[in-house]
Chains A and B, each alone.
Chain A
Amino acid sequence: MSAQDASLSPPRSGLRAWLSPEATARIAAGIAIVAIWELAVRLWAPAFVARPSRIVAVFPAVVTDPGLWLAAGQTLGAVVQGLAFAVVLGTTIGLAIGRVPAVERFLQLYVSGLFAMPMVAILPLLTLFFGYTGDARLATVVFAAVFAIIINVSDGARAVPPEYIEVSRSFRGSGWSRLFDVVLPSSVPYLIAGLKLAAGRALIGAVVAEFYAAIPGLGYYILYNTRTFKHSEAFVAVAMLAIVGVLFELLLSRGTRWLLPWYRRDEARD
């Protein structure tokens, strides 16, 4: 999925990196790829296959199409909603696995297994439960995202330095205060790492669900336009997914700084 590729390797070093000699090479490579793509399509592919010049030509019409924005809104809405749900659910289960040995014994195996399982595999099951509706997409997003969060949060909850627990006990903190005042804040960096991973998976989940169950959204928009031989239109939507992926990544990096003003600041030199 191009959306995932984009979210995994964004050009994240800012303006300065773009002006460096290394960046010049990067831009040149980009131009070369576009040129080869254009050339290859013109030489060997049927006329309806997307090529850069056509994409640029249809771009104004596509981005002013309310259908595209509606679709983007539907997909994004499901992703954000699903992620929110996955954060609450994943954090709760993750903390329980990390701190309660019995829960860990019961659930660890299933969490690891479900995390590794391709979400496409359970999609038919989810549509059985939820029908070919937005609910099935939401469920797919939650399913795609929640295990990454569970795994990271449980790692974080396990890694709480015993010293902090001891301080809490020494000052007679209750079990709940230990959970909310010590274990949870100490696990937040892990939660955010999990969320970064989960965001990419959630986006894929939403698109895959739209493909499979024909639920209105960006994925379906791409599918529909591809099937009607409007490859260039489809490609704008693909690019949009890529941009959304990058934006998520950016938002989470910014969010980290805002949520964790106390975390890993030792490298800040300027």
Chain B
Amino acid sequence: MNIPHPIAAERKEPSASPARANARIRVQGLAKRYGALEVFRNVNVDVGDREIVAIVGPSGCGKTTLLRCIDGLIAPSSGKVEISGVEVTAPLPGVAMVFQQFGLFPWKTVFNNVAYGLRLAGASKAEIRERVPRFIKLVGLAGFEDAYPYQLSGGMQQRCGLARALAIEPSVLLMDEPFAAVDAQTREILQFELLRIWEVRPTSMVFVTHSIEEAVLMGHRVVVLKGRPAGVFEIIEVDLPHPRTRETLMHPHFAQLREHVWTTLMDEARAAELQLQR
């Protein structure tokens, strides 16, 4: 189960064929620097066509930065990202991002925020009228169509941002701690809703989370980012049965995997703690 840098090893092969047979996203030798600060280096991750890859790592290790590189919002310092074989230099169609700080426009109502991506994608009025309410309902915001973001709680804003991304029915979904602000029950509903969406639509998802449990529940693989500068410390295959449901949480292997991820992450936290005590 302990496979450090598996993709890095594969990269040594000169072959142009994708590392994972049907990789949708290929992150190759990615590095990002902000001046003197090297956020991460040599990150290699492939995300399959219908794969959910969860990313965990301590705060500030560069998870958001990595997602922004994958989305094409910022340029990496070296390495590259390919989506469906196309090198990402700017945001691509069919790729949607759920932002950590929600990124809702305060001057738009819930309806118009959710419709934003659709409108830019050139959806017709009829399409918008049909789809937007459907996704608003999906995330449990029915009745708040005309509310402005300031009238919503943090969790509701987060769900609105999720609906906006889902509404364009993307083939690649990049999610930056999408459930961080929602309560435990809603989080559970949304987790299984997302898994259900994934069952009916082949979507590649990169799912950043601080919750180890969530990473193991949602991810087909869990990528642990660690170090300074950060790198892929470990990629854990989550060989739990599909579809993932509430039962998955009871699976004996689930607890094992969770412990494994926890220990991997904890080493770092403990080291930091020791450093503080000194």
Contact = CB atoms under 8 A, between A and B. Distances in A.
Interface in A194-251: none
Given A163-B101, A163-B103, A171 B91 contact: yes
A91 to B, nearest CB: 16
B160 to A, nearest CB: 12
Nearest to A266: B150
B107 interface: yes
Given A182-B105, A262-B107, A169 B149 contact: no
Nearest to A184: B107
A164 interface: yes
A166 B73 CA distance: 7
A262 B120 CA distance: 22
Contacts of B121: 171-172
B69 to A, nearest CB: 12
A262 B91 contact: no
B148 interface: yes
Interface in B159-173: 168
B175 interface: no
Given A172-B93, A172-B120, A262 B149 contact: yes
B135 interface: no
A256 B105 CA distance: 18
Interface string A161-181: 001101101111100010001
Given A166-B73, A170-B71, A171-B120, A262 B106 contact: yes
Interface residues of B, number: 25
B97 interface: yes
A177 B103 contact: no
Contacts of B99: 163, 166-167, 170
Contacts of B150: 262, 265-266
Interface string B93-116: 100110101010111100000001
Nearest to B113: A167
B117 interface: yes
Interface in A248-270: 260-263, 265-266
A118 to B, nearest CB: 36
A185 interface: yes
A72 interface: no
A167 B103 CA distance: 6
Tell me the interface secondary structure of chain A in the complex: helix
Contacts of A173: 120
A1 to B, nearest CB: 35
Interface string B114-152: 001100110000000000000000000000000011110
Contacts of B91: 169-172
Interface centre among A171, A185, A262 (most CB of B within 10 A): A171
Contacts of B101: 163
A186 interface: yes
A263 B105 CA distance: 11
A141 to B, nearest CB: 29
Contacts of A261: 148
A81 B128 CA distance: 39
A149 interface: no
A171 B73 CA distance: 10
Contacts of B106: 262-263
In this complex, which of B101, B103, B148 has the most chain A Cβ atoms within 10 angstroms of its Cβ? B103
Interface string B200-218: 0000000000000000000
A188 interface: yes
Instruction: Give the one of A166, A170, A185, A186 with max B CB within 10 A.
Output: A170
Of B91, B93, B121, chain A has the most CB atoms within 10 Å of the CB of B91
Given A163-B99, A166-B73, A177 B120 contact: yes
Interface of A: 163-164, 166-167, 169-173, 177, 181-182, 185-186, 188, 260-263, 265-266
Given A188-B107, A262-B148, A266-B150, 9 more contacts: A164-B105, A167-B99, A172-B91, A172-B93, A173-B120, A262-B107, A262-B150, A263-B107, A265-B150
Enumerate the 3 nearest inter-chain pairs by beta-carbon distance, A residue then B residue, closest first.
Answer: A167-B103, A262-B148, A185-B107
20 contacts: A163-B101, A163-B103, A166-B68, A166-B99, A167-B105, A170-B71, A170-B73, A170-B99, A171-B116, A171-B117, A172-B120, A182-B105, A262-B106, A262-B107, A262-B108, A262-B148, A262-B149, A262-B150, A265-B150, A265-B151
